[in-house]
Amino acid sequence: MDGLIRGLVDVAIGGNQRRGGDDGGDDEGNSRDERSRSTWADVVSGEEEDQNRAGGSSHGRRQNLEENQWEKKGERIPIRHSNKEDQEENTYAAKVAEKQDFSESQQEDNDGWETVGKKKPARQSHKVQKEQWQDYKRPASEQHYSDEVETYGNLEPSQLELSGLSEACNKLWELDSNRLVPGNDYQIDCGDGKRVHERADMAEGLLFSWVSDEVFRKPTFARFCSLLDNYNPNEGYKEVVTEEERQEQAAFIEEISRTPVIKYLHKYLVLKDVAPGSYQEFKRMLTSLWFDLYGRGGTSGSSSAFEHVFVGEIKQSGGEQVSGFHNWLQFYLEEAKGTVDYQGYIFPRRRGEIPDSETQLLTIQFEWNGVLKSVSSTLVGVSPEFELALYTMCFFMGREENHIQLGPYNVNVKCYRLGNNRIGSAFPIAES
């Protein structure tokens, strides 16, 4: 008992000394209070247990978060959108959350404390082969393209394919000779699942464990990747396209035009009286459709179909949020740079459909430059030419919702227009 009394007296005296000490006393006390709250948040979230397993440090994680000027600490982003496609992407997120029967009381069941996610392991450096990318900026006369891709099968659309969009899109899937093989060309780790409104990081590691160097030596993959750094990700900033970047765009279209999926797309659209019979004119049509600039976020010439769908944009109005960004190669490259933080997959609508390392249609949550994308869907391992052909097909021949079959996957390809001749957004949604 005497020891207890002495301990209480010491605490009281120590507390008075801290309150009445030198000029730095208040700051020290506040700092200690903040550490106390943080420790309590760590205990509530179970981070301390995760750190013991991973050998990590909560101080290191907090320091990294403070150094990242984009970091958002579990905020719920206000929903204010000016573009229909952005509204629809957020409506999709809301519908997924509703399907999961996630109540507001559950969401606020943390007594106001920030949920701290699992610790990420040290990033493994991966050097992407970029040496040949500078060659893609050269004039057309100095470009070297791959030989015409040998085609296995008939490229002439069948009557069944001409009468049904799903059959035509599935044909594109079958013709994608550049599609990668999980476990052979790349490896993913889906981590754990979560609900849309949950902010805890449910992925202990990166989504991509590795991607083979050979992938980036594939001509269409390499030319596609060289385009991704040509854009300012902040929506509303006017894009400046140099002559070299225009050459990169033309070279990419030329490269993919040698593949079966693009040749089939051309034949299909010609038979539907949508595309010109001349292949050269068709390539110019694709270049215009995907790379011509248009206005978004109140600024003319600030966006394009390619930038929005494949690269992604960060909306500033109404609270920062990621818009677009549906390409797996962009995700991998940004994750390798440390600007993407994978947060886990979104629980599927039906039990028993948990994604694994073989899954090639994922619904996920991540942060890009510290800004949250609460729900996003992407086709993993498909070629750039396949995605461009798929969304082009749905834009010209489909509607806003296109329920199709892609190999083993039931997919709803959402496709939104800006006017009659521009793609505002396009992305896949996994269906039950």
Which of 208, 219, 156, 220 is CA-nearest to residue 183?
Answer: 208
Residue 403 annotated as catalytic: no
Q: How far is CA 383 from CA 54, 303, 367, in A?
A: 36, 23, 24
Which of 327, 359, 390 is CA-nearest to residue 193?
Answer: 359
Q: What is the DSSP string of 159-172?
A: HHHHH-HHHHHHHH
Exposure class string for 274-283: b at 16+ Cβ within 10 A, else e = ebeeeeeebb
One of 81, 218, 326, 414 is an active-site residue; which one? 326
One of 72, 119, 171, 373 is an active-site residue; which one? 373
CB 202 within 8 A of CB 343: yes
Q: What is the DSSP string of 78-93?
A: P---SSHHHHHHHHHH
Enter the tokens of residue 121: 């392991």
* Cα 167 from Cα 301, distance rounded (Å): 36
CB 333 within 8 A of CB 312: no
Residue 308 annotated as catalytic: yes
pLDDT digits (tens, 9 = 90+) for 267-309: 999 999 999 999 999 999 999 999 999 999 888 999 999 999 9
- What does pLDDT average to in each consecutive run of 10 residues of the chain (432 residues)? 50 45 42 38 33 38 39 37 52 54 38 39 60 75 77 85 98 97 97 90 94 94 95 91 94 96 98 98 98 92 96 86 96 95 88 86 96 95 98 98 97 94 96 78
One of 118, 120, 283, 308 is an active-site residue; which one? 308
Q: What is the DSSP string of 396-420?
A: HH--SEEEEEETTEEEEEEEEESSS
Residue 266 annotated as catalytic: no
Q: Find the angle CA(167)-CA(225)-CA(265) to the nearest 5 degrees.
A: 25
* Cα 315 from Cα 389, distance rounded (Å): 27
- Which residues on neighbouring strands pair with residue 62, listed in sequence order? none
pLDDT digits (tens, 9 = 90+) for 2-31: 554 455 445 444 444 444 444 444 444 444
Enter the tokens of residue 182: 């999980």
* Cα 322 from Cα 53, distance rounded (Å): 32
